[in-house]
Each structure stands twice: as C-alpha cells, then as structure tokens.
Structure 1
Amino acid sequence: MTILRLVLHRALVAVPVLALVSVAIFVLAAVSPFDPLSAYLGDRYLTMDPADQARLAAQLGFDDPLPQRYLHWVGDLLTGDLGTSLWLRQPVAEVITERLPWTVLLVAVAMVLATTTALVLGIWSAWRQGGWVDRAVTGLSHAIEGVPPFVVALGAIAIFGLGLAWLPVAGLTDAGAEITVGQVARHLVLPATVLAISQTPVLLLHVRQSLLAALTEDHVAGARTRGLPEARVVLRHALPGALLPFTTVLGARVAEVVTGAMLVEEVFSWPGVAQAVIGAASAVDFPLLAALTLLATVAVLLGSLLADVAYTLLDPRVRLDG
C-alpha cells in the first residue's frame, strides 16, 4: 500500500472514530452530576428565581433532548461553527486559537528534551551494558516511570520554585509583565522539563532494549569480525535498525503526552488547550469539551499515522497492506 493510500485509509477510519468519540462526550456530559446552568451563572445561580432559571435553561438549550442537542451541534460543526463556550463566554474557535499555540510549544519543547535525553542515555546504556551509567540510568528510569506527572511537578515546584526560588512556578509571564521571549522561556522551563521527565523513561528503556537486540544480529557480528571500530559498529550498523521501532513508540506516546500535558498545564497554570479541558469538563461546557476532546483524538490519530509513514520511509522493505 502506498503512503497516499495509507493516509486515505486512515482518514476514512478516523471518521467513525471521531463520531463515536463525540457521541460518548455528549452522553457522559448528559449524565454528569454537574449542573451546566450553575456553572454558567456562577454565584447568581443561588439568588436567581427558579422560574428564571428554567427560562434561561430552555433558552440555552439545556432542556432539549440529548439527540436534538447533538444533531444541532453536528450541524453547526459541519458549517465550521464550533459553538460558543458557556464557561469562558467566547467562541470555541477563538479559545482554541488562543490556547493551542501554547500547548504546542510546551509539548514540542518537552518532546525534544525527552527524545534527545532518551537517545543519548539509551544508546550509552546499551553500548556500555552493565556499567555504572547503565545501572544508574535504568534504575532511575524504572523508578520515575511509575511516578505521576503531577507528583513530579509538585516536587519541582517545591525545590526549584519555592525552595531555591530559581524559576517561576505559574503562568506564562510574571504578574503584570508583557509577553516576551524571555518571560515565556523562564516560565516554560519547569513545565516543559516536568513533562519531558514523565516521557523520558519509556523512550529511554525502549532505545536501550532495541539497541541491545540489534547488537546481537548477524550483520553486526559480521562488522565486528571485519575489525571495524566499536563506535562505528554501534552507530552505523546497529543503531539504524534499532531506531526504526522508535518512531512507532513516539507515535504511540501521543495519548500519554496529551494526558501528561493536561496535568502539567493545570499544576503550572499554563494557559494551553489541555488546561481548558478540565475547566470545560467541570462546567459541563458541551461545545468546548466536545471540540477539545475531538482535537485530542485527532492528535492521537495523526501521531499514529505520522509514525507509520516515517517507519515506511525509513525502511523501504516495509510494505503496508492495511
């Protein structure tokens, strides 16, 4: 199957997946114990007359049957209208446009840090298997692997934000400061590093294991028998084959990265899309919650597709048949 056919096939598969996800969002939100009218009105909910509450709920469509609300939302979506966030009181498209770049920045920096660290330490650990670096790196990776990102975040805040006071712990800039490269960079250090730490162990251990397996293959043994330097044997003969599955792992980690970003953004008050998911869920904000969840689903599907395409391009021997 050509890459074009693969893309078309995945696009067709994505349609029912997104439809099922959207239905699930509306069903779960409908059975939620949270009252969307309460979230919409805030403190006014406690003082407003019940009759006025009922009229407002009917006006906003909260009392409409679930199928009717869903079909109305789908109809607007097909025309490019994502609706209006009842929680933030602004168009959903505007919310995403304002917040998405900050999430992309956070995730991109974190994944560059995680991937670079995993490759360097994973290759070194496999190359010097059994050495002190290998024992330290693998032991630390297994320990960190089971720690939730928010725990790492709280530890980083306690040490570098409150204890040493080296770095800011919340927001995009200091209070009252303009958005500048320097301000954003300082505030990005802790959340990006925490997100990178949460992703590095799995990537590192995978690189190490793949390279150890590649070092036992026949063509690597043949390179050694020809008297080639060990560095060349590892980097030129063993490493390329070991890194092929790494692209698939990166694609499969997208869902974990999205989840990790949600927790990190919430802890550090980073104004990204992931942070808005939590607020939208708490406020039962149907339009915003649906749009953000579909956006996350698209990111996961796209990550898997890009991983498969990259694997195919890197290894021409691969032939996709479905």
Structure 2
Amino acid sequence: MEPREVVVSVRRPAPRDGRLRLAGRVLLRRLLVAVPLLLVVSGVVFLLGAASPFDPVYQYYGTRIFTAAEADVARTRAELGLDDSVWHQYGDWLGGVLGGDWGTSRSFGQPVADVVAERLPWTLLLAGTGLTLAVLIALALGVVSAWRQGGWIDRLTVSLAHALEGVPTFLLGLGAIAVFAVAMPLLPAGGVSDAAGGTGAASTVRHLALPALVLAIAQLPWLILTLRQQLLVGLADDHVTSARSRGLPERTVVVRHGLPVALLPFVTTVGTRLPELVTGVVLVEEVFSWPGVAGAMVKAGLNVDFPLLVALTLLATTAVLAGNLCADLAVLLIDPRASADG
C-alpha cells in the first residue's frame, strides 16, 4: 500500500503581520534589558552620591546648621537614614519603590512623586515642542537643500548647519535672549507667565516659543545634514532614475521616490539624538527659568537628595530608552526589509 501524499497548506503571514511580530520581539527584548539597566543606574547614582563631598544634613539645615545643637543634628541624621551604609539606604529606597513609594524629597520637603508630577508636564511640553519643530524644519530644509543641490539655499543651509554644530546649547539660549528679549523685546526672556500674572494659553505659548526654538536649533544640524545626504544618495538610485525617465515631475520624484528611502536613516538619527535632547532640555530650562525637572535635578544634586536625584535620573534614562525604542519600531514598521536583529 503506497503512502498517501499529504499536502499541508501553510499560510504565510502578510508583510504587515510579520513586521508587527518583529516589533513585538524588539519591544520584549528592550524591556528585558531596561529593567536591569535601570537597577544599575539607580545603584550608581547612590554610589556617586555617597562619594560626594557634600553632606546632606548640612544642605538640609542650610544656615541653621551653625546654630543647631549637636543632638538635634544627630537626631536628624538618624531620621534621614544618613548614618546607614549606602547599600542599606539603597535597599530601603528600592523596597519603597517596589511598594509604590518613591520617598520624600529633602530639597522640596514633599513626596518625590508630587515634585515629578508638578514639573514633568512642563518638561514634556518643552521637549515635545522642540523636537517637533526640529523634525519639521529639518525635513523642509533637508529636502530643499538636496533638491536644489549647489544652490544658494543649499550652500547657506549647509554652512549654518556646520557652524551650529559646535555652539553650546546654553550659548544659543543666551544669544536668543539677548536678541529677541533684550535688543528686540519680542518674546519673554523666561518663565511661563507674565509679570502681570497672565497664565492663559496665549501667555504660555509666548513663553514657550523662544526656549522651544533654541532647543530645536540645537538639534537641527545633525538632522538636516543626515536627511540631505541620504536624500542625495536616494536620488541617485536606479528606481529614481527610472522614474525620471518616465517623465514624472521632479517634485513627485523627490517626494514619492527619493524621500521615503532617506526617511529611514533620518528616523534613526532622531532616535540617536535623544540623549543630546535630554541634555539640551536641562540646559534650556536653566537658561530660561522653565519650571521643569531640570531645576529640580540641579537642586537635588547640590543637596545630595537621593530619592529625588535617583527618580529624575531614572526618568531621563527611561526617556532615552523609550525614544530609541520608538525610533527602532518606526523603522521596523516602515521598512519591510528591516529585521529585529538589525
């Protein structure tokens, strides 16, 4: 008896389904890496704080330390847990975090969760606006520069991008204040509300405009140069040459055939610039007196405020990890040739 031939029909997943699965694998891998990484970062912050020459109890008392009784200072040290070893303090903090308690900030005298909740929305507003402006301006200038390669717009854009690469963010902020808030008082120099007490949406937008623009300009050089270079490479591909030979308008060739190829490395560059964006937000907030987490981070560092300092450091680390993850997921979903291992 001859064996019967069994035909098994296997349905190949649609390309979009395959990319979604790859995205899920990438997300799982990053989560598995993020947890131990955040633990290491938190431990390092505690170790650095322990090695700091600043004594938290002196920062806690301020000038009152010179008149405080030794018994009171000793009792305060015991209440704050400063006499315990750094690992004991870290263990207490970690146990509290696992229980949902991030501790109390010594600098602000309130729960860490409340400090972050009050300041984080302002930082997200500034960072989100600055990054959006940077991406939109880079797309416009990068495409025009590559499209009109060698023209005056291209030469001017490339020259300014290279010139801005070496300018510190805080110097850009001070220059913007000198020009647009002092020499030509068009925009406020800092804060989020007018001296008269205006706190509406219009007032917030006016105060947001200058710091967001400075933050965007600080990120622009790398985004513009990357998009321009990749678009020039894309416009030299065979499929673009074929599109031109079919008589398609040049605008269609650039936007529909060349730009999609250049967007993938551009998205990757946006992701790799996120650590610089976090640093830039800190500097911009300090220059423009923006009430975000930057001021709290500086104050926590000076006061050796372990609970707040660790929370803000972990927040910045999480922002970088999440941004890089979003960039990689965007590449996986956009480019069918991408793989989870790439």
- TM-score normalised by structure 1 residue count: 0.97
Pairing 1:240–2:271 present:
no
| Equivalence for 1:296 | 316
How much identity, in percent, do the aligned residues show? Answer: 55
1:6 is matched with which residue: 26, 30, 35? 26
Give the 3-state SS of the residue equivalent to 1:43 in structure 2: helix
Q: How many angstroms does 1:176 deviate by?
A: 5.3
**Structure 1 position 65 matched with structure 2 position 85:** yes
CA offset at residue 199 of structure 1? Answer: 0.7
Q: Secondary structure at the match of 2:101?
A: coil
- State the alpha-carbon separation in 1 of the partners of residues 280 and 34 from structure 2: 23
Distance across 2 between alignment mates of 1:55 and 1:310:
54
* Match among 153, 173, 187 for residue 167 of structure 1: 187
Q: CA deviation at 1:192?
A: 0.7
Stretch of structure 1 that moved more, 177-186 or 151-160 = 177-186
| 1:43-122 pair list within 5 angstroms | 43-122=63-142
Structure 2, unmatched stretches of 5+, are 1-20
Matched, 1:128 2:145: no
1:90 and 1:172 mapped to 2: Cα distance? 22
- The secondary structure found in structure 1 opposite 2:314 is helix
SS of aligned partner of 1:81: coil
**1:141 corresponds to:** 161
- Aligned to 1:168, the other structure's residue is in SS state coil
Aligned residue for 1:170, secondary structure, equals coil
Residue identity matched to 1:157: I
Tell me how far apart the structure 1 counterparts of residues 313 and 281 of structure 2 sit (CA, whole Å). Answer: 14
**CA pair 176-58 structure 1, distance change in 2 beyond 3 A:** farther
Distance 1:176 1:62 in 2: 44
Q: Does 1:16 pair with 2:30? A: no
- Equivalent residues in 2 for 1:272-311, closer than 5 Å: 272-311=292-331
State the Cα distance separating 1:24 from its structure 2 match. Answer: 0.7
2:176: which partner in 1? Answer: 156
- Tell me the SS of whatever aligns to 1:63: coil
AA of the residue aligned to 1:136: L
Offset of residue 10 of structure 1: 0.6
1:173-217 C-alpha deviation (Å, 9 max, x unpaired): 123514210111111111111111101111111110110111111
CA distance in 2: counterparts of 1:140 and 1:75, whole angstroms = 51
Q: Partners in 1 of 2:66 and 2:143 — Cα distance?
A: 61
Structure 1: 4+ residue segments shifted above 3 A: none
**Structure 1 residues 176 and 66, CA, compared in 2 at 3 Å: closer, same or farther?**
farther
Q: Deviations over 1:241-290 (max 9, x none)?
A: 11111111111111111100000001111000122111111111100000
Which has the larger displacement, 40-49 or 61-70?
A: 40-49
Matched, 1:257 2:254: no
Unaligned runs of 5+ in 1: none
What is the CA distance between 1:12 and its match in structure 2?
A: 0.5
In 2, the alpha carbon distance for the partners of 1:270 and 1:161 equals: 15
Whichever residue aligns with residue 190 of structure 2, its letter is A
2:6 corresponding residue in structure 1: none
The residue correspondences of 1:141-220 to structure 2 (distance < 5 A) are 141-175=161-195, 177-220=197-240
Check conservation: 2:126, 2:208, Cα contact below 8 A: yes
The alignment of Structure 1 onto Structure 2 pairs a total of residues equal to: 322
Distance in 1 between residues matched to 2:49 and 2:270, nearest whole Å:
31
Q: Distance in 2 between matches of 1:90 and 1:79?
A: 18
Q: 1:96–1:176: structure 2 CA closer, same or farther, 3 Å change rule?
A: farther
Deviation at 1:321, TM superposition (A): 3.0
Asked if 2 retains the 8 angstrom alpha-carbon contact of 1:258 and 1:274, the reply is no
Rounded to whole Å, the distance in 2 between the matches of 1:229 and 1:123 is 15
- What is the alpha-carbon distance in structure 2 between the residues aligned to residue 186 and residue 39 of structure 1? 36
What amino acid sits opposite 2:73 in the alignment?
Answer: Q
**TM-score, reference length from structure 2:** 0.92
Between the aligned partners of 2:27 and 2:271, the Cα distance in structure 1 is 15
RMSD of aligned residue pairs (Cα, Å) = 1.2
SS of the residue corresponding to residue 123 of structure 2 reads helix
Q: Is residue 33 of structure 1 aligned with residue 71 of structure 2?
A: no
Instruction: Find the aligned partners of 1:38 and 1:286 in 2 and give their Cα distance.
Output: 14
Please state whether the residue corresponding to 1:270 is helix, strand or coil.
coil
State the structure with more CA Rg: 2
Q: 1:19-71 CA deviation, whole Å, 9 max, x = no partner?
A: 11001100111111112112211221222123322221122111110110000
1:46 & 1:118 partners in 2: Cα distance? 55
**Residue type at the aligned position of 1:315:** D
